[in-house]
Structures are given as structure tokens and as C-alpha cells.
Chain A
Amino acid sequence: MKTTPSITRFGDEAIRLTWSTKIDISTHQLMMAWIEILNEQYNTYLLDFTLSYNELLLYIRDPQQIHSFLEELEQLCSTSMKPKNRPGETVYIPVCYDQEVAADLKTFCQDKSIAVNDLVRLHTKVRYPVHFIGFLPGFPYLGGLDKQLFKARKSKPRSSVPEGSVGIAGHQTGVYPTASPGGWNIIGRTPMKFFDPESHPPSLLKPGDDIQFYSISVKTFYTLKNEIAKQSITSLRDQHLIYFKRYD
């Protein structure tokens, strides 16, 4: 596998690092290594970044410095970069897989000729790496979905998908952090908050985290949802510590 990215300018203010692979965990680990080094050593240039499966977009503080930053990146490219091992921290996410809170669950199982129990087993057995956050504030793009659960987006997107909805689109699974129009097949719903602009940090997950879903009943879903709504949370990770222990 080619481990060095190609480096190109993208507009006045950003530089793109691109890897030739598609969805691949070792590319992701290489990108995490790049991010760590850039954050530590190139802070004078780097204002912010966006990443995806195989692209890292670097935003520069001072657009006049774009040429010298390009040169520095070319040099960095010639040094050998080791993939960064994932920190191994896993966030556990309770999900209610029930038609009452997941509008596409029945149709999904019928179309795939699969029992709900099997869907739950296949969806909860994987520890999913968070490749990146995009689409909506706090929306995680996860790798590793079992191929028996692959299903194309709905041909007609819903005008509003409730917050916390767990969906499948193509080879991906993810969670809607806020209510939004969307075309993913909704198979479950979590009571956990994934995004809160007043929290620090504002999203539950970051690139490099892992998540694991576990199944809860409709009753537990509503109990947890009410409790989380009542609680004032300063860190989104705290809600997980409080509720995970108490109910399961």
C-alpha cells in the first residue's frame, strides 16, 4: 500500500492530503498520525482540519503562507510516518431496536429477509472505528459494518429524522445527532446526546474513537431519555458514565 499522500492546494486557504485507498482502517491510522504531528509541530500554520475516509483537508492560519506550508508538507511526506495505534477507548452506546422508535426496522428486516434478533446481533457485535465526523455537527462516519446489513439509502429521504436515530446507508452505519432531513434506513434509536454546542467538547465522539452499540428495551430507552433531558451535562462523556452503569 502506498502510504504517502498526494498533496494539492484546494482554494486560497486549504491544502488537501489524499490517499489512494477508499475505506480502510490503516489509512485512517496514518491520517491520525499526520494529525498528531501537524497539531504538535505545525501549529503556526494549521488553523483547523476536516478529514474523511481518505482525505485530510488542512486550513491555514495565514493564506499568504500557503506556499511555505506546502513545502513543509512535501518534506514531511518524505519522512516515514507510522500509523497511529488507536487509543483503544471505546464508547458504549445504548440503542433501542424497536419499530416504535425506528421507522424502517420492519421494512429493513423484510427486505433483507433477516430476523430482528439477527439484525441486533450483527449490529451490536462490531466495535466500530469512528473514521470522521461530518454531514451534521457530531455525526460519526463509522467503518466495519457487517456486509449482511448493507443497504442503499432510501429512494425518498424523510423530511425529518429524529435525533438519536441509528441508520444504515450503503456500507455505513451512523447516528443522527440532531433532527434532520435524511435518507438513511433507520433501524434503532439511542437516548444518548451526541451533540451539544454548550458542552466541551461539543460532540460525544471524535475521529479515532471506537464505539460499540448494545441493545436496550423501549422502556429503558424512554427512562434514559427522560433522565438525560433532566440532567445538566458539562461533558457529553459524563452522561455515558452515569447511565451505562446504572442500567446495564
Chain B
Amino acid sequence: MIEFLHAGLHTTIQDGGRNTYRSRGIPVSGAMDQQAFHFANFLLRNDPETPVFEFTQQGPKLFFHARTHAVLTGGSYEATLNGAPVPYATPFFIPAKSELHIKHLYEGNYGYLSIENGFHAHQVLGSASYCPAVNDAAKCKKGGNYVFVRTIQNYEEKHAQVSRGFAKQQKTKVPVYAGPEFDLLSAEDQSALVSSNFSISAHSSRMAIQLNHSLNCKAEDILTAPVQPGTVQLTPGGDLIVLMRDAQTTGGYARILQLSHAGVNSIAQCGVNEQLTFSMIK
């Protein structure tokens, strides 16, 4: 059993998300950085969709009642097991009655903790992912506990430590496609979008990331239409919003760009005020 001594800032259970309920208006949700999530499970030889703990900014403090193996991926942070540092992106053994302390993230936004063979997590509509009003129970709280099957595997120490377990690069270049309303923009605005610098605003969450920018473009509202994680909306007031995993399924703002799958993982790990540019996929 794992017990939360501290929940951290916003620790939730996440997986690949709810992928068959969009027509009922249910957000996809799932790990913000799907690549880091899959990587954590891959290193443990777990099923790729095994639920993990996702933490942000300030990680949780956990007590393991039984022994197991675990892996940490995602942004950069320090973690200790009973006071001693643990490796990053490498399976490590956790003896029974151990305390794992994940400290604050100094680079990237989201970190992942995967447990060997996973842990028991309540499934709602085919996913254990937290989503407000859909699966509120998947937000981790102090005192909360999760059952897992005691470890059986042996991990040889052959995994070389990987320098980065997530997609972000310095000065992130985010690959994008033109969105459905891209053609409604003037040629000037179109070229400004792919040549300008943007930065991440503090108004960012699992639902959406707002971008700081110096462009002078606006777009009229549209008739409500489908949106997806990675859709970049331009509002009549000139705000640029990148929809993320917990976003609604339809929206009324112009959809000017669409991030690639990798682009969504990458922007998820950009910190507040971090700079980025868009590069158009031809």
C-alpha cells in the first residue's frame, strides 16, 4: 500500500485518458506529457496504459507499506528515498516501510511516478484519469492510500540513466498544423504567427495554456465547433489559448493552429514565462 503523507501541489492519477466519450461532451484528460507517462511504464515493463501519479511544481511525500519498484520521469526534480537520492528514469527498488519524497520541479511542469504493475485506481468511463466533475476521486489527498500487488520482478541494473525523460528542448519549437480558421487571418498575421516569440502565461492549467504575445491580431467568434487538445484558439479580444488535456470538446473561438501530438507533450512541459515558437508542418 502507498500512503500520501503530503499530497504535493496538485497530484492526480493519470493515464491515456477517456478516448471514446467525446460525443457526450467528456474531456479526454490523461497525462499532460503522454511521452513521459509512456516512458515511465515502458521502463517498468508495465502495460503502456497503466495509471501513474502526475505531480506539478511541488511533488508529494509518500509512504510505502510494502516493497515494490518504481520509476520517476517527466520534468527535472530531486527525489529521495529514506533521505538518499533516487535515480531518474531508472527503475529503483523501494523496501517496505520507506518514505519517498519528491521535491519541487525546477524544470518542466509535470513529473510522473509509475509503480511496478500499477496500483488500484478507480476507473470512470474507461480511464483512471482525474477530471473535474468526471473523476474527482483521482485527485490525491493527504492520508489517501492506494493498494498495489507486492513486487515480483527483478530489474537488472542495466538501464543506463537517461539524461531527459521528457520532450522539452531549450527554446521550445512547437510543431503545428494550420487550424480550420487559419485561412481567415490576413497574410501578415499568418506569417507573424510562425515567426514570433510566445511565452507561457501564469494563467495556465490542465485545461488550457494562455500565451503572452505581442501580435496585434484578433478573430471573430465562430459557430460552436469541435476542438481537441492542442487546438490554438484566437479570441475576439486577441488572446491566444492552447487547449490542453482537460479542455471542453467544442468551442466558439477561431481555431487557428493545431499542435502535433509531440507538440502537445512539449508545450505541457514549458514553464511560466518560458519562450517558444511555432514551426509549421508542411
Q: Do A and B bind each other?
A: yes
> Interface residues, chain A, CB within 8 Å of chain B?
8-14, 16, 18, 22-23, 47-57, 59, 63, 132-139, 141, 178, 195, 197-198, 201-203, 206-207
Which A residues are CB-close (under 8 A) to B179? 10
Chain B residue contacts of A14, Cβ below 8 A: 228
B205 at interface, CB cutoff 8 A: no
Contacts of A206 in B (CB 8 A): 23-24
Residue of A nearest to B281 (CB): A12
B184 / chain A contacts, CB cutoff of 8 Å: none
User: In the complex the two chains form, what is the Cα distance from A168 to B21 in whole Å?
Assistant: 25
Q: CA separation between A10 and B249, bound complex, in Å?
A: 14
Across chains A and B, the number of contacting residue pairs, with CB separation under 8 Å, is 112
Which parts of B211-254 form the interface with A (CB within 8 Å)? 223-228, 230-231, 248-250
Q: Chain B, interface size: which category? A: 20 to 34
Give the most central of A52, A55, A198, A207: most B CB within 10 Å. A52
Question: Contact between A137 and B24 (Cβ–Cβ < 8 Å)?
Answer: yes
A204 to chain B, nearest CB (A): 10
CB under 8 Å from chain A, chain B span 1-26: 19-26
* Residues in A whose Cβ lies below 8 Å from that of B260: 11-12
The smallest C-beta distance from A54 to any residue of chain B, in angstroms, reads 7
Q: Which residue of A lies closest to B21 (CB)?
A: A202
Q: Which of B23, B134, B223 contacts A48 (CB 8 A)?
A: B23
Expressed in whole angstroms, the Cα–Cα distance for A243 and B224 within the complex equals: 33
12 intermolecular pairs with C-beta atoms under 8 Å apart: A18-B180, A23-B223, A49-B22, A51-B226, A52-B223, A52-B225, A57-B228, A134-B248, A135-B25, A135-B224, A141-B250, A202-B21
B177, chain A: closest CB distance, angstroms: 5
* Alpha-carbon distance A59/B231, docked complex (angstroms): 14
**Given A134-B25, A202-B24: A141 in contact with B133 (beta carbons within 8 A):** no
Further pairs besides A11-B261, A50-B226, A197-B134: 4, Cβ < 8 Å: A53-B224, A59-B22, A134-B25, A197-B125
Could you tell me the distance between the alpha carbons of A135 and B227 in the complex, rounded to whole angstroms? 10
Partner of B25, one of A18, A22, A139: A139
Q: Kindly state whether residue B32 has any CB partner on chain A within 8 Å.
A: no
Cross-chain contact A198 with B226 (CB below 8 angstroms): no
